[in-house]
Amino acid sequence: MREDTRTRIQEIALRLFTEQGYEATSLREIAEELGVTKAALYYHFRTKDDIIASLVEMRMTELEELLTWFRSRPNTLQTRRELLERYAETLKRSRYLDVAKFLERNQTAMRDHPQLTRMRETMMTLTREMSDPGATPTERISRSMALFALHAGKWLTLETELSDEEIDKATMEVAMRLLEP
């Protein structure tokens, strides 16, 4: 059974946007790969922006759910460790990893997008609340970086000697260490 056009547009667009850049990818390219004219895209999406807006929305909703879950639990080392595990899980689902990659690589292109502002705030809140009130600056920064470390691990896939699984496992160990005092 054939996917619907709308979903195919999103898939092609996300791939091209991530590979070539959001602004460097024209609607004509997307339309050609789909086998239609670019005007046809405007039947399915109001603007170029709308093509990825729903995908970004998915990723953001997930982050907000993660924050809600975190706040519902006692702020212990155990909870923080579980937060890292859950965050890493979201990055394993290819759809979210693709969106995360897109967002990393197209920061300025999405600059004044309201969704991006919300997401930045969610990430900020998450990292901030991981710290105890009386923590030292080093402890605060260290814990904040634990989440970033999970992303950084995905950039290091060029370390040819290591397999993806080894990198994922080692990245998690490094991130966990950043939670320790």
Cβ atoms of residues 126 and 86 within 8 Å: no
Nearest distance in Å: CB 65, its own copies: 22
Told to check if 10 binds DNA by CB under 7 A, we report no
Q: Which lies closer to DNA via its Cβ, residue 27 or residue 126?
A: 27
The angle, 0 to 180 degrees and rounded to 10, between the axes of the packed helices 137-155 and 164-179 is: 170
Question: Using the rule CB under 8 A, is 137 a contact of its own copies?
Answer: yes
Q: How far apart are the first and last CA of the chain?
A: 53
Contact 85, 73 (CB under 8 A): no
Angle ∠(155,62,134) on CA atoms, nearest 5:
80
- Distance between CA 128 and CA 41 in Å, rounded? 41
Scanning residues 92 to 121, which ones bind its own copies (CB under 8 A)? 104-109, 111
Interface ranges with its own copies (CB under 8 A): 17-24, 104-109, 111, 124, 127-128, 136-138, 140-142, 144-145, 148-149, 152-153, 155-156, 158-159, 162, 166-167, 169-171, 173-174, 177-178
- Which residues make up the interface to DNA (CB under 7 A)? 5, 23, 25-29, 36-40, 42-44, 46-49
